[in-house]
Amino acid sequence: KLEVKFSNQTEFLQAVDEFLSTVAPFLEKNPEYVEKNLLEMLIIPERIIEFRVPWMADNGAWCVNTGYRVQYNSALGPFKGGIRFHPTVNQSIIKFLGFEQIFKNSLTQLPIGGGKGGSDFDPKGKSEGEVMRFCQSFMQELQKYIGPSLDVPAGDIGVGGREIGYLFGEYKRLNGYQTGVLTGKPVSFWGSLARTEATGYGLVYFVNHLLMDQGDSLADKRVLVSGSGNVAIYAIQKAQALGAKVYGCSDSSGYIIDEDGIDLAVVKEIKEVKRGRISDYVKLRPNAKYFEKENIWDVNLSFDIALPCATQNEISEASAQNLVKQGVKIVGEGANMPTSMAAVEVLKQNNIFYCPGKAANAGGVSVSALEMAQNSQRLPWTFEEVDQKLEAIMLSIYETCRDTAAEYAEPMDLMAGANIAGFQRVATAMVSQGLV
Ligand code: NDP
């Protein structure tokens, strides 16, 4: 039924498919959820908002993009999830991200429902003024539907501190100062310390706990990371801090390998300060190699841990086979759904530990929820306090996934564990609330 109704929404169908393929053992033991038709209720978002975003380019031309906000599920709290600005954004992408967000937020044990938003606007190559005018126009419409206890957006691909600042400014102009309406704010106006680092750090904490469970550690592990944006940069930073050797990262134009270990200061300068391309890395580190238009997961280099931190479906079945060939033991997803279903199957068959994004990248939204707590309290917490809470949350998510997998599925099937544990909490809340 879903496949017919949403036949053109391939990413959304993929996310639902992946979820449904793992929750069956739980539903067999708890048939009341099937009787109440809870799955269908969960798959249909509470509300989808789609809107026009007109804005003026520097040359005076009027441009128009489409904006989206999917308010997916509010059983556990206000809708919560990022905003993505990328030319590939459409309703399918936002729905898949929103659907995953429900279970991710549930796993954090924090009071947040699931949502997601974005636009097909491409910030690449746009001037500061164009980005600002776009953000203002986007918020002029979005502000009608959000609020600190209703829906609290944050960043995602193409939306970092700069964009959140412009979005917040426009919201404030129209509605007054409401600190908690967005998270991922710059620290100067009540953003949380450690929010910028949270998704990347959280991912590495998750992988590190998995390793410790196996009597192992990150020390001297050979790691590759895809992307070179927010999640990738702080995953590299924490992995290096815990003793791993990170040899490569990428952007949508290609990837670099630095056999001496990635110099993160160089990556940060290129990406955060100059907003340049990863190809510039080799100009500053001549021993490194740049592979243009190639996918980092097709690399010919043996390594232990793959951390996909760029985008959906970046690891195809063929790339997964290459990971097996290169000796990879763990795939930890910083991005959302970066591994295709066929690729996940390859990892499973080869006993590679697979840490699904909805669990492993939940650090970002967790610290966003901590930012909401600080904003409500009107008090900032220290970096160390937030970071300690983040690590405790990631440990708890890891243990929940592991233990739920052991109870309902195969031991260490962390995807099944994440889906079942995430679902259980939302489903219980929905039933208790009369399915509204
Ligand atoms: P950024 O915009 O900061 O960085 C995205 C990175 O991924 C860039 O290096 C970008 O390269 C690369 N990328 C994007 N699209 C592609 C593509 N089609 N092929 C190859 N590389 C690509 O985004 P984030 O780091 O914030 O987000 C990365 C992922 O992590 C996304 O899946 C996001 O949903 C997920 N995530 C983010 C969270 C957060 O807190 N920010 C929280 C949880 C998940 P280029 O510059 O060339 O486009």
* CA dist., res. 267 & res. 96, Å (int): 30
User: pLDDT (tens digit, 9 = 90+) per residue, 124-183?
Assistant: 999 999 999 999 999 999 999 999 999 999 999 999 999 999 999 999 999 999 999 999
- pLDDT reported for residue 5: 87
Q: Tell me the pLDDT band of 384, cut-offs 50, 70 and 90.
A: very high
CA neighbor of 209 nearest in space, from 54, 351, 332, 64? 332
Domains of the chain: 2-179 (3.40.50.10860), 196-357 (3.40.50.720)
Instruction: Tell whether 104 is in a known binding site.
Output: yes
Please report which residue ranges of 225-362 form alpha helices under DSSP H: 230-241, 264-268, 281-284, 317-325, 341-349, 357-360
Helices then strands, counting H and E runs in the chain, come out as: 17, 12
Instruction: Tell whether 389 is in a known binding site.
Output: no
ipTM of the complex as predicted: 0.99
User: pLDDT (tens digit, 9 = 90+) per residue, 263-303?
Assistant: 999 999 999 999 999 999 999 999 999 999 999 999 999 99
Helix (H) or strand (E) holding 55: strand 47-56
Instruction: Tell whether 283 is in a known binding site.
Output: no
Averaged confidence pLDDT in the chain: 97
- Mean pLDDT value across residues 202-225: 98
Question: How is the chain split among helix, strand and coil, in percent rounded to 5?
Answer: 50, 15, 35
- pLDDT reported for residue 345: 97
By most ligand atoms within 8 Å of CB, the mutation choice from 164, 201, 251, 370 for ligand 1 is 251
* Residues 265, 267, 273, 279, CA torsion sign: positive
Is residue 229 lining ligand 1, measured as CB closer than 6 Å? yes
Helix (H) or strand (E) holding 222: strand 222-225
By most ligand atoms within 8 Å of CB, the mutation choice from 100, 102, 311 for ligand 1 is 311
CA 277 to chain centre: 22
* CA dist., res. 15 & res. 179, Å (int): 33
Q: Tell me the pLDDT band of 1, cut-offs 50, 70 and 90.
A: confident
116 is catalytic: yes
| Secondary structure of residue 394 in the 3-state scheme | helix
Q: Which of 1, 29, 95, 116 is catalytic?
A: 116
